[in-house]
């Protein structure tokens, strides 16, 4: 029997061929969605599930929060079509660029598309809508200072005038993106909001003549929490949906107003081997750690291929038996060594909590980010899609 078939057969009888993986709390996702919806008002919360739902699982996350969503936001056409293929009927907004060859599929799936082009792409979008005897629903983007995608504010009115002359386009929304809303003192956020409002106002007579009122949106998680004036017609919640905070300032300010998110993800494994390492002996690649005394080391079968940043080498920690056990030596592709000295009861087979809580000890995605010199967004989004995920609640 081929190895792949053998593995599938074994998994059906005994469970997945993994030692540990991710547990995602659907109850926590719904709690956060309800909290965020209450913050901005019913019908005004959109939820962002790009990047495999920030590592939490695209389809399962979208299904859990869709009943609470104004719409679901993704980055790519592939993500949007995967959700439609899974039976999701909620409005879906694609925030990123769409290849022209995918436009027929986008229109057939009744997706809403971001648009910042009056050239070839717009013409092909109109042709695709005409071919299907349908209309393409678009949200027109304004560049207010992030300087990535979007029309310049002075170009916005002309672009809207062009679009409104095309019966195949339905201008459903206008939007932008903020650059520094995570900061409590952010004059640039107010500058961007004012720039956006001026651009939209320049096109107001055109919208009134066409008898449409496009939805305005500019706020993501941090802005919606810290800057109520940015909420407009709806806010796009990404990182906060998953119980993580855009910044320390956002957390402190929100907690003061009773907003308490619940992390939805935990990451567990087991000790697969233990060994006694004598004083002075090196541990791991490059001998970057030498045992300061005789010590017991546990081997965890997860490494940087499994989403653990190599930067956690010799500085991070996991939890065993309710106790923090430091990472010793360099993290390898599929293995990490931890010092079991703080957990004398630990043995081969003992549970290891990589992210989550055990007893009074906890390790968070923010801890990983601090140890690795990055942000929690990167930590969870880079958890491989092939990691085993279990959904509870």
Residue among 306, 242, 238 nearest 95 (CA)? 238
Mean pLDDT, to the nearest integer, of 10-16? 49
Q: Which one of 54, 110, 285, 377 is the catalytic residue?
A: 285
Choices 1.10.3720.10, 2.40.37.10, 2.40.10.340, 3.40.50.970: CATH for 265-392 = 2.40.37.10
Sheet with 136-141: list strands edge to edge: 215-217, 169-175, 136-141, 112-115, 92-94, 72-74, 45-48, 235-237
Is 204 a catalytic site residue?
A: no
**Domain range annotation of the chain:** 26-256, 265-392
pTM of this structure: 0.94
**The domain defined by 26-256 carries CATH number 3.90.230.10:** no
Q: Which residue did the predictor score with more confidence, 382 or 253?
A: 382
User: pLDDT tens digit string along 349-378?
Assistant: 999 999 999 999 999 999 999 999 999 999
In sequence order, which residues have a C-beta less than 8 Å from that of residue 165 and are 6 or more positions away?
Answer: none
The owner of tokens 């081969």 is 348
* Average pLDDT score over residue span 7-36: 77
Average pLDDT, the chain: 94
According to the model, what pLDDT value does residue 20 have? 85
pLDDT in tens, 123-174: 999 999 999 999 999 999 999 999 999 999 999 999 999 999 999 999 999 9
Q: Respond yes or no: is residue 50 known to be catalytic.
A: yes
Write down the pLDDT at residue 6: 46
Q: What is the mean pLDDT of residues 259-270?
A: 96
Residue 74, CB-side half-sphere exposure with 13 Å CA sphere: 27
State the pLDDT at residue 192. 98
pLDDT band at 5 (very low <50, low <70, confident <90, very high): very low
pLDDT for residue 14:
53
Half-sphere exposure of 318 (CA within 13 A, CB side): 31
- What digits encode the pLDDT tens for the residues 297-310? 999 999 999 999 99
């Amino acid at each position: 029997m081929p190895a792949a078939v053998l593995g599938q057969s074994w998994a059906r009888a005994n469970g997945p061929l993994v030692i540990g993986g991710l547990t995602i709390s659907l109850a926590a996702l719904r709690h956060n969605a309800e909290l965020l919806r209450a913050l901005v008002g019913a019908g005004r919360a959109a939820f962002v599930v790009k990047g495999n739902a920030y590592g939490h699982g695209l389809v399962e996350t979208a299904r859990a929060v869709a009943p609470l969503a104004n719409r679901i936001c993704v980055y790519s056409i592939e993500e949007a079509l995967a959700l439609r293929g899974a039976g999701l009927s909620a409005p879906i907004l694609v925030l990123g660029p769409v290849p022209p060859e995918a436009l027929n599929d986008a229109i057939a799936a009744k997706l809403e598309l971001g648009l910042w082009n009056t050239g070839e792409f717009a013409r092909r979008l109109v042709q695709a809508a005409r071919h299907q005897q349908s209309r393409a629903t678009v949200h027109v983007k304004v560049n207010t200072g992030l300087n990535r995608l979007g029309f310049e504010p002075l170009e916005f009115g002309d672009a809207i005038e062009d679009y409104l002359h095309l019966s195949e386009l339905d201008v459903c929304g206008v939007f932008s993106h903020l650059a520094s809303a995570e900061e409590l003192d952010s004059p640039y956020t107010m500058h961007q909001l004012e720039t956006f409002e001026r651009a939209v106002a320049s096109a107001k007579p055109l919208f009134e003549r066409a008898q449409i009122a496009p939805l305005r949106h500019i706020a993501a998680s941090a802005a919606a929490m810290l800057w109520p004036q940015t909420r407009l017609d709806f806010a796009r919640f990404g990182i906060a949906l998953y119980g993580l905070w855009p910044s320390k300032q956002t957390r402190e300010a929100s907690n003061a107003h009773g907003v308490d998110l619940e992390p939805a993800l935990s990451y567990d494994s087991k000790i697969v081997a233990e060994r006694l390492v004598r004083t002075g002996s090196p541990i791991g690649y490059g001998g970057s750690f030498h045992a300061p005394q005789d010590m017991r080391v546990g081997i965890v079968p997860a490494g940087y291929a499994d989403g653990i940043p190599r930067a956690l080498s010799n500085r991070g920690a996991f939890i065993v038996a309710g106790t923090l056990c430091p990472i010793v030596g360099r993290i390898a592709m599929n293995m990490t060594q931890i010092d079991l000295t703080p957990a004398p009861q630990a043995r081969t087979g003992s549970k290891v909590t990589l992210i989550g809580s055990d007893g009074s000890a906890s390790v968070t995605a923010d801890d990983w980010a601090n140890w690795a010199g990055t942000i929690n967004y990167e930590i969870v989004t880079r958890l491989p899609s092939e990691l085993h995920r279990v959904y509870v609640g």
